[in-house]
Structures are given as structure tokens and as C-alpha cells.
Amino acid sequence: KQIPTGFPTDFLWGGATSASQFEGGWNLDNKGLTQAEVTPKSEDRRMNIAEATLASIEAAVADTTDARYPKRRGVDFYHRYESDIALLAELGLKAFRLSIAWARIFPKGTESEPNEAGLAFYDKIFDTLNKYGIEPIVTLSHYEMPINLTIERNGWFDRKTIEDFTRYTEVVFQRYHDKVNYWMTFNEINAAQWGFHATGAVDFGLPENEQLSIRYQAIHHQFVASAIAVQQIHALDPDAKIGMMLARMQTYPLTPNPADVQAAQLADQLNLFFADVQVRGEYPEYMNRYFAAHDIVLDFAPEDEATLAAGKVDYMSFSYYTSSTTSVDTHDVTDANMAMAGVNPYLKASDWGWQMDPVGLRITLNELWDRYRKPLFIVENGLGAVDELTSDGQIHDDYRIDYLQQHIEQMKEAIIDGVDLMGYTMWSPIDLISFSTSEMSKRYGVIYVDQDDDGQGTLDRIKKDSFFWYQDVIKTNGENL
């Protein structure tokens, strides 16, 4: 068999966003609030995503300004989508990942009829993308659900939420299946093990095992809902592709001590559990022991096993920002996405402490391909950094170019290794609000947005040096790196 020499010709070069960080328009056209929009920006730089209480949520719902909630304002894609998509077309994107805000379609989550104004908004987005030949990659839930579902029934902890979600997905699939070919169900579904922002269930302050019980039950309901969504879209359009999405954390043993190696294997299993269920259609055995050790008894309905088996995904997608080390001995840890990672002395970290590990991406790609034999899709990867605007209005972000270049190089190596990689949507083509810290100044874009942490600025878009670099990478299909 011939060894591939580089990226396939139909490779989906792209960029990724999420509704709650990008759109703004949080209270327009009947939209309801979501978890992301009731979580205030904290002075503590570290994530403050899970510390919600019912009282804090109700106070946030009563607050009708965006002053404390930057994700409510996003970067105004809601009004600027035409010029933003024109810029993405100029960049040369073949694919654009975005999420649909469930609360635009069902503001409270429990209605029987959808909100037409919300549906019309995404029609305009998909039509504009299609006009430029950019493939939409749609996440059905990116850390957002109608906040009313938290208040009424503790989010995904309640099995009834499955029905609300499947009513939403049925409406969305019926409406857009002619315009969208690629779907994914829950963004970073494993983030639900970290709580509220992903489960919509309030568990702040409970003892650890109780928290875990709530979270894994919520996750089980998400698995079932995801498997139903897979069946819905396949029934409607057998050619549509629907994937699962994992926050992948490559984990190394800190030392060759077998106890460290075993601990790293367990950490890896706890990460891959989410993909195992959604790709293979059943729970893996190793989780039984973990559940027993944490007094977790999951409530399975009689039909759940069959639903999971019938709802296997077509591809596996994941975010990749950083890697981790594991040891049975005490060792240093650092921030890593929504969680913490063991420090690796061989790696440098970003200004936010996220360790940068391009080779880890190649290792991960090989491991995931070996394990699942399903097409892989990197749907987030990028560098959060402070950018400086020069006096003549430019941004020389060579650090971002370095980061992206090194990761793309390793993707190419993995393809030559034989991995089936379908695309890469870097996070994020246009600056947006950081999820874990709600900062604007933590920027990922190749396009700068003139807005500061307090929401001041013209919102003008400015191409950074990385824009021209990525444009050339896409134009040459990854030959010029």
C-alpha cells in the first residue's frame, strides 16, 4: 500500500467557534439564557465555571445587563455574520465549526413549538456559508442549554431533559439537513465530569462522590440523547456524518515506575470512556470498578443499552490543546483547559499555564486511530495569548504561527503514519470570549477583534500576521508550513 505524502485533497481546513462565546445577541429575538450567560466573570483567572448555585443563577437571570457576563456580548457575530463569513472565505476556510444555541430555538427548553426567529438566524448563517462554499460543521450543544432547564429540573441530571433535547434536534435536523452535512452532538462531552457548565446541573459544594453521581448520571443522559440524535439524522439523511467530541488529554506517566504507568493508564481510560461509549456503543468494563469505588450507581432505563448500541457515531472529533503527566507521588500541576494537568519538565506552557505539546498530537492521533478505526477530526486547537496592536494597526503574532505550524506538522506526520484525519478546525479564526476565564484578552484568532475585557472597543476586525500564514497553508493544502 502506498504511504500518504501529505494532506488529502478533500481535507477540511477550518476554524471553530461556539455560540455563547461568539454570537452576542443574548437577549434578541426571544432567545433564552444559557449556563454560559449566567456565569459571571471572576477576578480569579482560573476557571470559575462550576461554582453556580440556584441563588446565583436566579440573580443572574434577573440581571438584564451584560456588564458581569462577557459571554452575553460575545463579539457580535449575531449582527456581523455577513462580513465575518466573507473574511473567513478570504482566509480560504473549507469548513467552519459553529454551535447552535439551543435556547435560540427553544428559549425555555420545554416549549412544544420552536422559536422561528432563532431558526431563521441559522438559516442565514448556513446560506451565507454555502454561498462561499464553506462547509458548516455544527455542534448541537456547546456548553449551553436553556437555563430554565437547570432551574426547573437540574439540567441533564433529569432524564426528562432527553426528551427536550431530542425535540430540539429533530427540529434542527428537519430544518437544516439540506444545508449541513457534518454534525456533532456535545462539545467536549467529558467536560461534564467537571460540572455545571456542561451538565447544567447544580452540584456546587456537595461531597465529591455525590457530585460525581450527579455528573455521571447527567452524562449517561447525554449519551442516550446523543445516540438518539445519531439515529434521527441517519433516518433523515443517510449520507450525513455525525460525530462525538472529546476534550482529549494525552497523558504520560511521569516516570517509568509501573505504578505511574498504571495511574496514567487509568487517567487515559477516564478520558477515553466518553469516546468508548459513543464510538463502540456500550460502556467499557473498566468503568464498573471506578463507579463502585465512588459509590456511583447509574440509573439505566431498560432500553438504554439498545439505544446506545444503535447510536454509534460516524467519526470521532476532539479538541487538543495540551497534555498531562500522571504520578502516584505528589507532583506539580498546572492549568489545562477546564481541568488541571501534571507538569511535564520537557514542555513549555502558554501564558495561561497550558503546556504545549505538538508531538503529543501525533501520539494521540495514532492512539485514537488504533483504538477506534473511525475517521478523526481535530475540531479545536490553538493558542490563547495576549496580542498587541502596533501603532500602524498590525498584530505580529509569530508565537501563534509557531504554535499552529508545529501542530499542523505533527498532523501531517500522523497522516503519513496512516491515520485517517478528515479535517482541522483551529480555535478560533476570529477572537472571541475565552470560555474558562471569560476574558477577551485571551485571544486565539487569526483575526483580531477590537474589544477589551470590559466590552469597550469598536468591534472592528483586523487581520493578524497569522491570517496570511494560515491562508497560505490552506492554499497549498499544508505544503507551505
Give me the active site residues, please: 188, 380
Grid cell 448541537 — which residue? 140
Closest to 336 measured CA to CA, from 216, 436, 260, 253:
436
| Given 434, 443, 469, 470, the residue binding ligand BG6 (CB under 6 A) | 434
- Indicate which single residue of 98, 149, 214, 247 sits in contact with ligand BG6 (rule: CB under 6 A): 247
Residue 319 as a binder of ligand BG6 (CB under 6 A): the answer is yes
Peptide bond into 428 cis (omega under 30): yes
The residue among 427, 445, 476 whose CA lies nearest residue 92 is 476
**Contact call for residue 99 and ligand BG6 (CB under 6 A):** no
The cell for 161 is 431533559
Nearer of residues 319 and 451 to ligand BG6, judged by Cβ: 319
Q: Please choose, out of 25-33, 400-408, 431-439, 445-453, the segment that lies near ligand BG6 by the rule CB under 6 A.
A: 431-439
Q: Whole-angstrom Cα distance, residue 78 to residue 125?
A: 9
* Among 30, 26, 43, 36, residue whose Cα is nearest residue 57: 36
Q: State which of residues 11, 12, 18, 278 lies at the interface with ligand BG6 (CB under 6 A).
A: 18
144 is a contact residue toward ligand BG6 (CB under 6 A): no
> Is there binding between residue 431 and ligand BG6 (CB under 6 A)?
no
Nearer Cβ to ligand BG6 (109/384): 384
Binding-site size, ligand BG6 (CB under 6 A): 16
Q: Name the 3-class secondary structure at 162.
A: helix
Rounded Cα distance between 181 and 239, Å, is 8
**C-alpha cell recorded at residue 395:** 498584530
Tell me whether residue 21 or residue 115 sits nearer to ligand BG6 (CB atom).
Answer: 21
- CA separation for the pair 369, 317 (Å, rounded): 11
Residues 155-174, one symbol each (x = binds ligand BG6 by CB under 6 A, - = not), give --------------------
Q: Binding ligand BG6 by CB under 6 A: which of 216, 427, 469, 470?
A: 427
Helix (H, G, I), strand (E, B) or coil at 184: strand
DSSP per residue, 274-316:
HHHHHHHSS--THHHHHHHHTT------TTHHHHHHHT--SEE
Residue closer to ligand BG6, measured from CB, 187 or 317:
187
Nearest-approach distance from CB 66 to ligand BG6, in angstroms: 18
**380 counts as binding ligand BG6 under rule CB under 6 A:** yes
At closest approach, how far in Å is the CB of 23 from ligand BG6?
13
Cα distance between residue 369 and residue 284, in whole Å: 18
Contact call for residue 263 and ligand BG6 (CB under 6 A): no
Of 177-185, 262-270, 393-401, 430-438, the segment contacting ligand BG6 by CB under 6 A is 430-438
Nearer to ligand BG6, 187 or 325 (CB): 187
- Give CA separation, 255 vs 4, 261, 268, 362, 412, in Å: 34, 7, 16, 21, 29
Residue 268 vs 439, nearer CB to ligand BG6: 439
Phi and psi of 137, rounded to 5°? -115, 110
Question: Given the C-alpha cell 483504538, which residue does it identify?
Answer: 371
Q: Determine which residue in the list 220, 442, 443, 464 makes contact with ligand BG6, applying CB under 6 A.
A: 442
Is residue 17 involved in binding ligand BG6 (CB under 6 A)?
Answer: no
Q: Which residues bind ligand BG6 (CB under 6 A)?
A: 18, 21, 187-188, 247, 319, 337-338, 380, 384, 427, 434-437, 442
